[in-house]
Structure 1
Amino acid sequence: MLELPRQMLLPVRGWLARYATGIGLFLVGFFVRYFSDHVFPPGFPFLTFFPAVIVATLLAGRGPGIVCAILSGLAAWYWFMAPLHTFTLDAQTATALGFFAVVTAFDIYLIDALVSRQRQLEENEQRMTRMAETQRLLFMELQHRVANNLASIAAMLRLKRRQILASPESAPDLLDRAEARIEMMGRVHRQLYAPSAQEIPVADHIRKAVEQTRDLAAARQVRVNLHIAPARLETNRLLTLILLISELLTNSFKHAFADQSDPVVTLTLEHIDPLRLRLTVADNGCGLPDETKPSPKDGLGQMIIRGFVAQLGGTMTSQSLPASDAGGLSTVIEFAES
């Protein structure tokens, strides 16, 4: 089908202006036909009305085009078809009016279809432009995040190297944890930067990340209860939140349940107010060995957690839970939603 120039795509807007345009073009066609009647041979009553209907439909739309066609047919019948100045209907007049009706109806339908197609093309073009801009921003964000994560990995490996030099027998465990962290980063990157990721709720992203963390930590025996309120987080902040959750869960899986027969971790994400969120990760394990210091064995994990909290611009508190509440450790992090 023919593609219309954009400046011809229904330039007349508004109900009153559109129908005024249709009536105005009918009047133009009528007066041109009326004052030029002496130059036209007999038998051309609709000559100036056809372009009036076409232009009215093109500029103002289907409705004004139909109004212009009806007024044009009536005017041609009364003023330019014998007997003049009457609405007498005979076979010849009916045939002429029928021909005019069929031609103008076809013109209106064709132009309306062209305009509709042009509108769809423009909408598709705008949608593709928005998608391209979104992909560009996601790519730039991904580059930035990859660079940051590579720097984090490099810093983590330097710390691991120091720990291995200080305690060579701990090398296998330290390298296993480093490998698990790097693999988790890769999984979360693939999950959040997939083309369909923008349509997936935050709660579903977190659930998937929790399952991946359990798999990497070989902690399928640990029951994880999730209570996640609806939230809106940009991809960059959501990535940081998921990596933070993964690190908190990994600490619980690895260090909290040495003698626990029914290990449970409860993860809650809730709104404090319309602009802030609270993340709580609580387990029923052994709690902190010291109420004021993290375990030296998990010093790197605590450093990574504090780094993620800082990236979110949040605050963190950790405390052991009383035995009456099943014991364990509770970590609470508060941060802005955007």
Structure 2
Amino acid sequence: MAGNSQRRGATRKAGSKKGATAGTGGKNRRSLEGKGPTPKAEDRPYHKAHKAKVASERRTATGTAASPRTSSPRTAGPRGPRSGGKGGTRSSTHEILSGRNSVVEALRAGIPVSTVYLAARLEADERTKEIISTAADAGYPLLEVSRTELDRLTDGSVHQGVAIQVPPYAYADDEDLLDAAEATGRPALVVALDGVTDPRNLGAVLRSAGAFGAHGVLVPERRAAGVTASAWKVSAGAAARVPVARVTNLVRTLQAYKKAGLFVVGLDGGGEVAVADLPYVGDPLVLVVGSEGKGLSRLVREECDAIASIPIASAVESLNAGVAAGIALYEVARQRTS
């Protein structure tokens, strides 16, 4: 029954009401004030970030590189990304490059390196000696890690006991490729990739471009491979020497190149001419390579001044972009020198 004062628990027992406790006002006010803002990790003496900061300042003061056993991969911070050409863009994340040839070529090119990773008990050769010497001279952190840790960092790729962390790749501008060609005094030779999404194909194209004197590679921003660790690996260091320009619209860029005096030749099956009779070889030239499955897109094909094909056996449907670009670049180099 509502209001039944005899119901158990309906009335408060005398002396059960809690009141203010004497002497608690000052304590509660102090608890409300707090301890102030939390200090940064590098300002807390017990934090590993503070220890890394102190070690970095000590190395800077003495001018020496870090010892392989005194640093930790978790505390090594990246250096700033290298600057790109006019209008160039950068990828969004750091990359881990592995393999002795790739690392040597990257260090020779002067690319800023965040960290150099060396496997424990590494068998030394001329390349590893050059890597250690170059990294020490440049002041890059040298970290000795286990093979298991190196496998994890490189996603299980063949690293040969050596890997480096590099800042985001700095893409060139499409006009930078023409400036590079003008500086050499030779007719421009640019490779454009249309819909090539495998970074290993991009790496193979970069390697062929470096071998046969191309002035750069052109890739679209969307639905296309960028310069990743896989591309670096396959390029065998050519990514450090051959500029890659990333453009918003490949068709518009090809139109601008044509206005600048370049001829555009596409590589596709069933072309008008064989690659051995490649037209416009002595003129400024853009070789456009399509994807292995779809080939050249319709709009890109419409911008081509000629379509060339590579004769192959009927048992093979097509060549991948890296192989096709290598064959075409060889033909251009051969005809230009002869």
Q: Same fold (TM over 0.5)?
A: no
Band the TM-score falls in, shorter-chain normalisation: under 0.3
Q: What's the TM-score, normalizing by structure 1? A: 0.27
Structure (1 or 2) with the greater helix fraction: 1
Q: Which structure: larger Rg?
A: 1
Q: Answer 1 or 2: higher relative contact order, Cα 8 Å, separation at least 6.
A: 2
Q: What's the TM-score, normalizing by structure 2? A: 0.27
